[in-house]
Copies of this chain bind each other. A is one copy, B any other.
Amino acid sequence: MEYKAVKLVKRPTLNITPDLFEVVTLETAELQEGEVLLKQTHMSLDPAMKGWMSPDTNSYIPPVGLGEIMRSSGVAEVIESKNEAFPVGAQVMGMIGWTEYAVSTGEGVQVLPPGLPADAVLSVLALPGLTAYQGLMNMANPKAGETLVVSGAAGSVGSMVGQIAKAEGLRVIGTAGSDEKCRWLEDELGFDKAINYKTANLEEALAEAAPEGVDVYFENTGGPVQLAVFDLMNAHGRIIVCGMIADYNTDTPAPGPNWISIIKKRLTIQGFAMPDHWDQVPDMSQKMAHYWMNGQVKFRAHKLQGLESAIEGINLLFTGGNNGKLMVEL
Q: Which residue numbers of A lie inside 8 Å of B, CB to CB?
A: 51, 56, 58-60, 219, 222, 226, 235, 241-244, 247-248, 253-273, 276
Does A219 contact B60, Cβ atoms closer than 8 Å? no
Does B253 contact A256, Cβ atoms closer than 8 Å? no
Does A262 contact B271, Cβ atoms closer than 8 Å? yes
Tell me whether A266 and B257 are in contact in the complex, defined as CB-CB below 8 angstroms, given that A60-B235, A235-B60 are known contacts.
Answer: no
Chain B contacts for A60, CB-based, 8 A: 235, 263-266
Expressed in whole angstroms, the minimum distance between the Cβ of A260 and any Cβ of chain B is 5
Expressed in whole angstroms, the minimum distance between the Cβ of A187 and any Cβ of chain B is 31
Does A259 contact B235, Cβ atoms closer than 8 Å? no
Expressed in whole angstroms, the minimum distance between the Cβ of A128 and any Cβ of chain B is 16
Expressed in whole angstroms, the minimum distance between the Cβ of A33 and any Cβ of chain B is 38
Expressed in whole angstroms, the minimum distance between the Cβ of A1 and any Cβ of chain B is 39
Does A244 contact B269, Cβ atoms closer than 8 Å? no
Which residue of B has the minimal Cβ distance to A234?
Answer: B58
Chain B contacts for A59, CB-based, 8 A: 264
Task: Report Cα–Cα, A243/B259, bound state, in Å.
Answer: 9
Chain B contacts for A271, CB-based, 8 A: 259, 261-268
Which residue of B has the minimal Cβ distance to A258?
Answer: B253
Chain B contacts for A272, CB-based, 8 A: 263, 266
Chain B contacts for A222, CB-based, 8 A: 258-260
With A253-B258, A268-B270 known, 10 other A-B pairs at CB within 8 A are: A58-B265, A60-B264, A255-B255, A255-B256, A256-B259, A259-B269, A263-B271, A266-B272, A266-B273, A267-B269
Chain B contacts for A51, CB-based, 8 A: 264
Does B256 contact A258, Cβ atoms closer than 8 Å? yes
Task: Report Cα–Cα, A182/B219, bound state, in Å.
Answer: 39
Task: Report Cα–Cα, A263/B276, bound state, in Å.
Answer: 12
Does A226 contact B58, Cβ atoms closer than 8 Å? no
Sample 22 A-B pairs with CB under 8 A, ordered by A number: A58-B264, A58-B265, A60-B235, A60-B263, A219-B259, A226-B259, A241-B259, A242-B263, A244-B258, A244-B260, A253-B258, A253-B260, A255-B256, A255-B257, A255-B258, A256-B256, A262-B269, A263-B271, A266-B270, A268-B271, A269-B269, A269-B270
